[in-house]
Structure 1
Amino acid sequence: MRKQVTIIGSGIVGAVTAYYLSADPTLTVTMYDDGIGQATKNAAGIISPWLSKRRNQRWYRLAKAGAALYPQIVADTQLGVSVYQQCGTIVTRRTAADVEALYQLAQERRQAAPQIGTITKLSAQAVQDRIPLLTTADPGIFISGGARVDGERFAHHLLKYAEKRNLVRHKGKVRLGDQGQLLTPNGQQQYDTLILAVGAWLKPLLLPMKLVADVRPQKGQLIEFDLPQSWSDDVPVLMPEGERDFIPFTRSKLVVGATHENDQGYDLQVSSLVEKDLFASASQLDRDLQYSQISRVKVGTRAYTRDFAPFFGPLPDNPHILVASGLGSSGLTTGPMIGKLLADYVQTGQQTDWDQYQLPIETYLQPGD
């Protein structure tokens, strides 16, 4: 008899978990999601963790592993370059000394992470030559292993792939009972394993079970431009000093952002002030942009923990319920590896080397009243 695995949440973690589990003929995989405020759906990211200055080595190992997983998934599912492309990343600094320090850091990190690829110093003019949209630029370095990904389309692609194998999806909001019962719009549903990949909504979801998750919501907004000109698929993405990320997608789509807005709760309203701020940042790099060329504003809710680190795995007192949250603004980088590790656990019951990626899950889950 097949075991029933139910996943709540269709973002990056849920989609990758479903992708791996749907290949297992001994499982029936079901997913629920209402799609409201999802961080993945409202994200377009740069996959380039190697130059991060975070001191959290567990996070860095997880981010490295997630970045390394993308090419394998892309090849296995025949994902197109409009969704994911290893186009390289340019990181700029304003002074020659800072560029040199960045270059040395990249060389050092490359020893343990060959996925960085080639590392090249660039003058300001060379940066502009590689990203024709720019009208002004600072010098920096180029790393060929960097990539861009459209979070919404990536998750959608994996879920469609999984549906062709062994995934059934339902749209709707679910709740948990005090003993972990799964309460859906169609009544209580049974499961052998339940995976809660709901990001910032984990805290309210677990409250009926008298568990308090160390998770707070953070609002993020970005803007998309639909421009009259087009460019090649291999134009790099830009992480400029002092400005928002500048991400040219294929053909004529430009993404700029995203913001990090605390104390906004689960607000999903577009802020005109934030939209103007994002446009001003983009205009510092491309003075030819017009406000009227903004085609879309995306708003999502990220999940953060007190120490800005993600956590995942089975509940301390219930190995049949797994959780994942706290991915923050690097969710598109760390999420794939978390999804794979959760899928591996469902199939093997083992948490092999998980301590290299996170603190004990009890760090982030406390008994409530």
Structure 2
Amino acid sequence: MKQVTIIGSGIVGAVTAYYLSNDPNISVTIYDEGIGQATKNSAGIISPWLSKRRNKRWYELAKAGAALYPEIVADTQMGYSVYQQAGTIVTREDPADLEDLYQLALARRQKAPQMGTIEKLTASEVQERLPLLTAPQPGVFVSGGARVDGDKFAHNLLKYAEKRNLVRHKGKVSLGDQGQLLTSHGQQSYDTLILAVGAWLKPLLLPMRLVAKVRPQKGQLIELQLPQTWGDSVPVLMPEGERDFIPFTRNKLVVGATHEDDQGYDLQVSPLVEEDLFASGKKLDDNLTTDQITQVKVGTRAYTPDFAPFFGPLPDTPDILVASGLGSSGLTTGPMIGKLLADYVQTGQHDWDQYQLPIENYLEEAD
């Protein structure tokens, strides 16, 4: 029986465990400290196709990750409160910019049929789809876009895996200089170790005299409970110049998230940021009030110098796999990364050049 140990139960760790859970020749253990996890504190928009990022590898990875969601959701029978493919609307005020966006969507749909229906909407048509809005702009609607509750999604995958071959532990872990896994219960053995800890990969690898080229970025969002309710078909809004506007099932609204590069690993709620998020939401829906805010979520993303994720075995320690640098699109790229890592564990083979640069680009020896 092959023993696979995963550190981190966010999107990458949970998806990897899910895909490994059906292999009778593998036992999986997850350790999770559960602090500042980006997955639990993310906005949850799955709609990568209209991004103008020039990184083609990132786009292929994000496109593949988005396509996995319906398959995983169907297999695990998750409900609408976890994942809902209700579409996304991206707005542009300038008619020329809107037309460019529409043409981009049409072009990309040729290689991404999961985008579904593409429509160019007037401001009033946007408001018809999203009655909450009091200041709508024209936009492009993509029916294949979705919203996901990252916390619930990862939780459901882990519960699924626990019924098969997964054992879960809470608590902090560390590595020895030779990659030994050190826990509160002493050193633990493994055949394969997967480090899916996001921004915490850098301090975790330092005892091995490896420096991961990742930096933390703080992200905050607000959740509001509104008096009115809406159906499952209300789309996500990605407005020009404002924070994303994500109506979840029933009457939960999410506004966010921020991208704060100077806060390190700080997980404190910032009242000023909360005010900024609320002000952004109120520009879209003037009926919002501060007493509707139910919580502020804070998470820490991992970024690399080229804003691209990396994953795979350490160059000189192939029984240790890492994944980091997913940034603000972790819920989109994470599923495919988890699947690729699981495939590698099972087969020992990989061909990932279409998705990332060599992993050596993101690691260096410590001085």
TM-score (norm 1): 0.99
Counterpart check, 1:289 vs 2:288: yes
1:44 is paired with a residue whose SS is: coil
Tell me the CA shift for residue 61 of structure 1: 0.2
Tell me the CA shift for residue 332 of structure 1: 0.2
Match of 1:113 in 2: 112
Counterpart check, 1:35 vs 2:34: yes
Provide the C-alpha distance between the structure 2 equivalents of 1:102 and 1:205, rounded to a whole number of angstroms.
Answer: 41
Match of 1:234 in 2: 233
**Identity, % of aligned pairs?**
81
Match of 1:194 in 2: 193
Provide the C-alpha distance between the structure 2 equivalents of 1:347 and 1:142, rounded to a whole number of angstroms.
Answer: 39
2:319 is paired with a residue whose SS is: strand
Provide the C-alpha distance between the structure 2 equivalents of 1:4 and 1:166, rounded to a whole number of angstroms.
Answer: 10
Provide the C-alpha distance between the structure 2 equivalents of 1:131 and 1:32, rounded to a whole number of angstroms.
Answer: 41
**Residues 176-195 of structure 1: pairs in structure 2 closer than 5 A:** 176-195=175-194
Gaps of 5+ in 1: none
Tell me the CA shift for residue 44 of structure 1: 2.6
Provide the C-alpha distance between the structure 2 equivalents of 1:290 and 1:166, rounded to a whole number of angstroms.
Answer: 46
Letter in 2 for 1:215: V
* 4+ residue segments displaced more than 3 Å: none
Letter in 2 for 1:108: A
**Residues 1-369 of structure 1: pairs in structure 2 closer than 5 A:** 2-352=1-351, 354-369=352-367
Deviations, residues 156-190 of structure 1 (Å, cap 9, x unaligned) = 01001110111000000000000000000100000
2:34 is paired with a residue whose SS is: coil
Provide the C-alpha distance between the structure 1 equivalents of 2:27 and 2:83, rounded to a whole number of angstroms.
Answer: 29
Provide the C-alpha distance between the structure 1 equivalents of 2:94 and 2:307, rounded to a whole number of angstroms.
Answer: 29
Letter in 1 for 2:338: G
Deviations, residues 111-131 of structure 1 (Å, cap 9, x unaligned) = 111111111111100101100
Gaps of 5+ in 2: none
Letter in 1 for 2:345: V
Provide the C-alpha distance between the structure 2 equivalents of 1:364 and 1:270, rounded to a whole number of angstroms.
Answer: 30
1:16 is paired with a residue whose SS is: helix
Higher mean alpha-carbon deviation, 103-112 vs 176-185, is at 103-112
1:105 is paired with a residue whose SS is: helix
Deviations, residues 54-94 of structure 1 (Å, cap 9, x unaligned) = 00000000000000000000000001011100000001000
TM-score (norm 2): 0.99
2:68 is paired with a residue whose SS is: helix
Aligned residues: 367
Letter in 2 for 1:358: Q
